[in-house]
Chain A
Amino acid sequence: MIKIGEIGYSKKVMDHFMSPRNVGVIDNPDGYGKVGNPVCGDLMEIFIKVKDDIITDIKFKTFGCGSAIATSSMVTELAKGKHVDEAMKITRNDVADELDGLPPQKMHCSNLAADALQEAIKDYKNKMKK
């Protein structure tokens, strides 16, 4: 049997695309990450609120295709409640696996959500140093 996730979007991707979790912005976030570029067709922003190194709140805004939106939503779910060092370890592949796979051509271009999260955590750590 051909898995739908190998040729198109899985049910889980469509669920996260249609009902994305944690959409929005956080005013005065503890960390902010932005990756992508509207010229390329994908742009993601992630905002985190951190208390005692635990991500207590996370929000995103994404311009992009179905997988860009679904991976953003998924990464916020995976990161919420985690220690920043744990959340830092979330990879693109983890996000894709949790979504029951992404079509091959989407693995690179529209799977930037983990990168955006890492940017947000780095931003938080930089702020802490100051």
Chain B
Amino acid sequence: MERIYLDHASSMPVDRRVLEFAYPYLLDKFSNPSSLYSTGLEAKRSLEEARKKVADLVNAENEKTIIFTSGATESNNIAIRGTALRNIGKGKEVLASAIEHISVINPMKELQKNGFKFNLVPVNSEGILDLNELQELTTKNTIVTSIMYANNEIGTIEPIKEISKIVHENQGFFHVDATAAVGKIAIDVKKDNIDLLTLSSNDLYGPKGAGVLYIKPRVKIQSVMPGGGQERGLRSGTENIFAIAGMGEAARIAQNEMRKENDRLTKIRDKLISEITKIDESYLTGHPTKRLPHHASFRFSHIEGESILLNMDMYNIQIATGSACSHKTLEPSHVLLAIGLKREEAHGSMVLTLGRSNNLKQVPVIVKAVKDTVNRLRELSPLIKKR
């Protein structure tokens, strides 16, 4: 059986061109970018080139706005904690959408423990942020508002420009976690007036272990990782030059190929959605059109997601689920609960995220495996009574 990998939101392979570009940084070009001798300067130059490539991908003002980190979790932490601590004199309120990634929610919960007021902004049943509620919850004391560009579990793309307007009318800072969106849709930090933006390398077919925090010129944040002062003092520690060079190259390739690739993925996505929602009591989760081009997510009544995952794996198809059993907390996905699903509904979810290895010919194979899986698990389920 051909392997069909449909979990690109959780992990992606490194592009072979990226690997070829970056592997010399593990071997001959291993010098520390802070060293002043020639090979150190060469490493420093590679670091700056990578910065330029990432800056171009998101249309940043200049490459100085790009801070390299170890990944999206670190970028989110630095953005939220760094901005909150720097601006503590202005106010002690923070906001996030109810469907943010846990690496945004948990730093905010930590701020809450330290005396900040933390509110979650609700979303509608398709995962779109409620702008009226955002308006209501935003005050002059709100210093950081963090809303994701697009959601990793339901694929919904948020109205970033409108959100940005509301945040800035109240003189707050706007952080956007673009981990799920980067490389899938065009991001323009100037057009959307974004103050802080999180990106991850692996979501661009780059190596794991690198991420980026974009910081708009004149936006000041406090260091939360003191040390040798690398990356403008905001992310101390010797740069992971292999992963960073790889991320730069991955960003350059994404910029060139994104449009064409996403037209291709959208066709596969739409075919999957139309076929899979033909199954009895199956529903698309997230927005039908304002969604990431590589993202198709569903829920099925009367069955449970981990079982779906295991059963699909028997067809050599790898998928994801928001079921409780797939989480360390044993709680169903907070994203699915936030869009108004009941807990028993949230347990039966399946998330498919496409990538370069997928093609239209795989669609009938995937659809048949999903149908067989759903049928088999429903045969076992006491929640469905046989006609």
A40 to B382, CA, bound (A): 15
Note all chain B residues with C-beta closer than 8 A to A66. Answer: 306-307, 310, 325
Cβ distance A50 to chain B, nearest Cβ, rounded Å? 21
The number of chain B residues touching the other chain, given as a range, is: 20 to 34
Main secondary structure, interface of A, reads mixed
Asked whether, in the complex, the Cβ of A18 is within 8 Å of the Cβ of B324, the reply is no
B-facing residues in A96-117 (Cβ within 8 Å): 105-106, 109-110
In the assembled complex, 26 residue pairs joining A and B whose CB atoms fall closer than 8 Å, in A order, are: A9-B310, A17-B307, A18-B311, A18-B314, A20-B380, A38-B347, A39-B343, A40-B324, A41-B325, A41-B344, A43-B383, A44-B382, A45-B382, A61-B380, A62-B380, A62-B382, A63-B304, A63-B382, A64-B304, A65-B306, A65-B307, A66-B325, A68-B307, A69-B307, A105-B328, A109-B324
Q: Is A26 an interface residue (CB 8 A)?
A: no
For A45, the closest partner residue in chain B by CB is B382
Q: Which 7 A-B pairs have the closest CB atoms?
A: A61-B382, A65-B306, A65-B325, A38-B344, A45-B382, A41-B347, A63-B381
Asked whether, in the complex, the Cβ of A64 is within 8 Å of the Cβ of B307, the reply is yes
Main secondary structure, interface of B, reads loop
Q: Is A90 an interface residue (CB 8 A)?
A: no
For B310, the closest partner residue in chain A by CB is A66
Q: Is A14 an interface residue (CB 8 A)?
A: yes
Note all chain A residues with C-beta closer than 8 A to B323. Answer: 41, 65
Q: Is A88 an interface residue (CB 8 A)?
A: no
Q: Is A23 an interface residue (CB 8 A)?
A: yes
A79 to B380, CA, bound (A): 19
A109 to B310, CA, bound (A): 18
Note all chain B residues with C-beta closer than 8 A to A106. Answer: 325
A67 to B321, CA, bound (A): 16
Q: Is B248 an interface residue (CB 8 A)?
A: no
Name A's B-contacting residues (CB within 8 A). Answer: 9, 14, 17-18, 20, 23, 34, 38-45, 61-66, 68-69, 105-106, 109-110
Q: Is B162 an interface residue (CB 8 A)?
A: no
Q: Is B290 an interface residue (CB 8 A)?
A: no
Cβ distance A78 to chain B, nearest Cβ, rounded Å? 19
| CB < 8 Å neighbour of B380 from A40, A69, A109 | A69
Q: Is B330 an interface residue (CB 8 A)?
A: yes
Asked whether, in the complex, the Cβ of B380 is within 8 Å of the Cβ of A43, the reply is no
| CB < 8 Å neighbour of A41 from B302, B304, B379, B380 | B304
| CB < 8 Å neighbour of B381 from A34, A61, A109 | A61
Note all chain B residues with C-beta closer than 8 A to A62. Answer: 380-382
Note all chain A residues with C-beta closer than 8 A to B347. Answer: 38, 41
| CB < 8 Å neighbour of B302 from A45, A63, A68, A109 | A63
Note all chain B residues with C-beta closer than 8 A to A17. Answer: 307, 310-311
Cβ distance A23 to chain B, nearest Cβ, rounded Å? 6
Cβ distance B309 to chain A, nearest Cβ, rounded Å? 8
Cβ distance B209 to chain A, nearest Cβ, rounded Å? 23
| CB < 8 Å neighbour of B330 from A39, A61, A105 | A105
Q: Is B286 an interface residue (CB 8 A)?
A: no
**With A14-B310, A41-B324, A68-B304 as given contacts, are A63 and B332 in contact (CB-CB < 8 Å)?**
no
Q: Is B303 an interface residue (CB 8 A)?
A: yes
For A72, the closest partner residue in chain B by CB is B380
Asked whether, in the complex, the Cβ of A38 is within 8 Å of the Cβ of B383, the reply is yes
For B344, the closest partner residue in chain A by CB is A38
A88 to B22, CA, bound (A): 62
A44 to B381, CA, bound (A): 9
